[in-house]
Every structure is written in C-alpha cells, then in structure tokens.
Amino acid sequence: MDIPRHWRLKSQRYSLIGEVCPNCDAKLFPPRDVCPECGAPAKTPFAFSGRGEVFSYSTVFQAPASHEEQAPYTVALVRLEEGPLITAQLTDVDRKDVKIGMPVEMTTRVLQSNGERGMIVYGYKFRPVGLN
C-alpha cells in the first residue's frame, strides 16, 4: 500500500472535501485543477454535507482481491445534495432494501486492510439516513 497517497487523500476520504469553482460556483468532487463546467481554475476548498440520495446501484459478488472478504457488497452512485455524483459502497443496509432515491448520509468505515500487521485504510461509505 502506498502510505503517502492515502495521506494525501485523507481530507477527501474522511471529510468529503472537494472544491468550488470561483467562476461558476460548480461544486467539484473529487477536487480537480480545472472546473469541468467552465474551464476556470478551481482551487477553493469546499466541505460537502455528506447527505444525498441513491441515484443508481449494483451489488458486487466477485470482488477484487483487496475487497473479497467484504463480498457481496453494494456500490452506489450517490447524488450529493450539493450536486456532484460520486461512487461509494453502501453500508448498514441489506442489499434487498436499497432503492433508487433512498436518502443516505456519509459515514467513515474501513475500506481495506493489508493483512494482520498492515495498514488499515478508512474512508467514506454511505448508509441510509436515520439508522443508528
């Protein structure tokens, strides 16, 4: 695992920090050097609320090697309240209960681990709103 890469991504993974374009006010996640809407530089940090709704979803039964202990799991396209569409794993919900339009909120969970003595990588997942 690449520790420096995970360190650089910690604000995105733990806090949903993206950017806002000072020219057109587009909210960007993940952060980009250039706004895809207007082409202007986009360097102003923006903290997303972490709330949104399921736009689409799919269940992964044959997971990649780094996630095979989690299979089956559900991955969703989540439309954040502020506009961006992001991909994230759903948690704290049975895959049979997932619905398009279901309100969700960001939560921090383990994304992967590297063996008994390896690094544990945390990041954002989404869960249905109102669950404890």
Note the pLDDT tens digit of each residue in 21-69: 999 999 999 888 899 999 999 888 999 999 999 999 999 988 777 667 7
Q: Which pTM does this prediction carry?
A: 0.79
More confident residue, 64 or 84: 84
| Residue 100 contacts residue 128 (beta carbons within 8 Å) | no
Q: What confidence tens digit (pLDDT) does each residue in 85-104 have?
A: 999 999 999 999 999 999 99
Size of the chain in residues: 132
CA distance 128 to 132: 10
CA distance 29 to 31: 5
Domain interval for residue 92: 3-128
CATH code at position 104: 2.40.50.840
User: Based on the structure, what is the number of domains in the chain?
Assistant: 1
* Tokens representing residue 38 in the block: 């207007």
| Residue 14 contacts residue 124 (beta carbons within 8 Å) | yes
